């Protein structure tokens, strides 16, 4: 199998599996227990917290472990708004966020918040003037993703923070799930107050994530119970998973700079070859800063679902848009926001590469893709996908 869906998830690193193993059985204790087995578990938990903190430029006390990126985003948005002054019920986010943020923001809207969804340009980059214009004294939270999951574009987060801090008292959250492991992430340098991460995007296990929470940033817990994670996230911590996250964060932080150069080079070569080999292909977000390894294209005259099915039958794993479980099959909201026509967006293909992709046979892949596209284009279905 040629795996080209690292933005969906990644295989666990060997180092991660090795680090997790003892915590499945040997150090099985509950980290809240006082005896030796509990202390071992707690030690593993805190070592992992230090590793994750180091990887993102934070203090260990600023890391709250969660059951994934989605939970971290939910906790950030709902938790921050719950703690905000009831007169400051305005939230700003972008129209290209992951659904973990988008649907949380829509939920807040239904609870009576005012929510502004900022537009983006053709490359999927946030309009900073629109951000400035939408800030008000009522704005309590601004949430802007670090890197987009579908097209890989990187937002000017430092400028976002500067503008927000200059014009309001709002806290800034970033969904950094697609950033960590792909580009260096330093929450201190970015200046954000909160940031969400997911272990499985960087060679760690699924079901583990973290919320970075800058000192003195007030949020209300969304899960109530035993008061773990400094009262912010109740529930017995997933110790083995968190240990795996720590190792994945440590390893990827040491590799990210060197690997990024290689992956960007690989991605650019792949993009170049596809654009030359296949007529009527457009690159999404190609003119903006992008995370290395992510390539999103729209192939005119083919349907994404058909493309994936045909690639799958030839041993190529890719995705159309994002890999969300909803199976909505609607044109991507990200591409729509970037001004891509719905019929074009139906033919979107995301190829995302990572640690295991460096030996990718670009020629063979482009040949396969060309054949599949030619096949799909040769038979016009009775109903062409139309704008809906």
Q: What is the contact surface with other proteins in residues (CB under 8 A)?
A: 305-306, 308-310, 312-313, 327, 329-330, 375-376, 379, 381-383, 385-386, 388
Residue closer to other proteins by CB (options 309, 362) is 309
Residue closer to other proteins by CB (options 265, 330) is 330
Residue closer to other proteins by CB (options 18, 387) is 387
Virtual torsion, Cα 221, 56, 209, 333, nearest 10 deg: 90
Residue closer to other proteins by CB (options 307, 338) is 307
**In which residue are the tokens 């773990």 written?**
228
CB of 21 to other proteins, least distance (A): 28
Known catalytic membership, residue 324: yes
CB of 12 to other proteins, least distance (A): 22
Q: Are 118 and 130 in contact (CB under 8 A)?
A: yes
DSSP for 102-155, please give it: HHHHHHHHHTT-EEEEE-B-TTS-B-HHHHHHH--TTEEEEE--SB-TTT-BBP
CB of 350 to other proteins, least distance (A): 17
* Residues ≥6 apart with Cβ < 8 Å to 129: none
Q: Are 133 and 162 in contact (CB under 8 A)?
A: no
Residue closer to other proteins by CB (options 85, 379) is 379
CA distance 43 to 243: 10
**In which residue are the tokens 């670090």 written?**
146
CA distance 205 to 222: 23
CB of 305 to other proteins, least distance (A): 6
Of 9, 66, 353, 25, which Cα lies nearest the Cα of 230? 66
Q: Are 55 and 180 in contact (CB under 8 A)?
A: yes
CA distance 206 to 245: 9
CB of 304 to other proteins, least distance (A): 10
CA distance 12 to 2: 16
CB of 296 to other proteins, least distance (A): 19
The number of beta carbons lying within 10 Å of the beta carbon of residue 166 is 9
CB of 383 to other proteins, least distance (A): 5
CA distance 319 to 84: 39
Residue closer to other proteins by CB (options 216, 380) is 380
Q: Given the residues 133, 324, 358, 362, select the one marked as catalytic.
A: 324
Sign of CA dihedral 68, 71, 76, 79: negative
Residue closer to other proteins by CB (options 261, 309) is 309
What are φ and ψ of residue 386, in 5° steps? Answer: -125, 165
Catalytic residue annotation: 324
């Amino acid at each position: 199998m040629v795996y080209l869906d690292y933005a969906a998830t990644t295989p666990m690193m060997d180092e991660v599996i090795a680090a997790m193993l003892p915590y499945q059985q040997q150090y099985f204790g509950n980290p809240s227990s006082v005896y030796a087995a509990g202390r071992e578990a707690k030690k593993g938990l805190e070592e992992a917290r230090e590793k994750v903190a180091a990887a993102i430029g934070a203090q260990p006390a600023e890391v709250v472990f969660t059951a994934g990126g989605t939970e971290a985003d939910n906790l950030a948005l709902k938790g921050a708004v719950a703690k905000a002054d009831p007169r400051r019920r305005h939230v700003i986010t972008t129209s290209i966020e992951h659904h973990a943020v988008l649907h949380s923001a829509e939920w807040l809207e239904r609870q009576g918040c005012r929510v502004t969804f900022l537009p983006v340009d053709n490359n999927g980059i946030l309009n900073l003037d629109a951000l400035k214009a939408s800030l008000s004294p009522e704005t309590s939270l601004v949430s802007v993703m670090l890197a987009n999951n579908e097209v890989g574009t990187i937002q000017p987060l430092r400028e976002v923070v500067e503008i927000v801090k200059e014009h309001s008292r709002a806290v800034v959250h970033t969904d950094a799930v697609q950033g960590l492991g792909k580009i260096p992430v330093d929450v201190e340098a970015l200046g954000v107050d909160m940031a969400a991460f997911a272990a499985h995007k960087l060679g760690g296990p699924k079901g583990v994530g973290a919320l970075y929470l800058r000192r003195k940033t007030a949020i209300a817990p969304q899960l109530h119970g035993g008061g773990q994670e400094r009262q912010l996230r109740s529930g017995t911590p997933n110790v083995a998973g968190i240990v795996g996250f720590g190792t994945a964060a440590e390893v990827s932080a040491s590799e990210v700079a060197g690997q990024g150069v290689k992956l960007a080079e690989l991605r650019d070569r792949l993009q170049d070859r596809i654009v030359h080999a296949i007529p009527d292909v457009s690159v999404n977000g190609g003119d903006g800063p992008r995370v290395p390894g992510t390539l999103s294209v729209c192939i005119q005259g083919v349907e994404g679902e058909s493309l994936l099915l045909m690639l799958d039958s030839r041993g190529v794993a890719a995705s159309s848009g994002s890999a969300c479980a909803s199976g909505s099959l609607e044109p991507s909201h990200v591409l729509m926001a970037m001004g891509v026509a719905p019929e074009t967006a139906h033919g979107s293909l995301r190829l995302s590469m990572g640690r295991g992709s460096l030996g990718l046979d670009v020629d063979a892949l482009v040949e396969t893709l060309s054949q599949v596209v030619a096949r799909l284009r040769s038979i016009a279905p009775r109903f062409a996908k139309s704008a809906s």
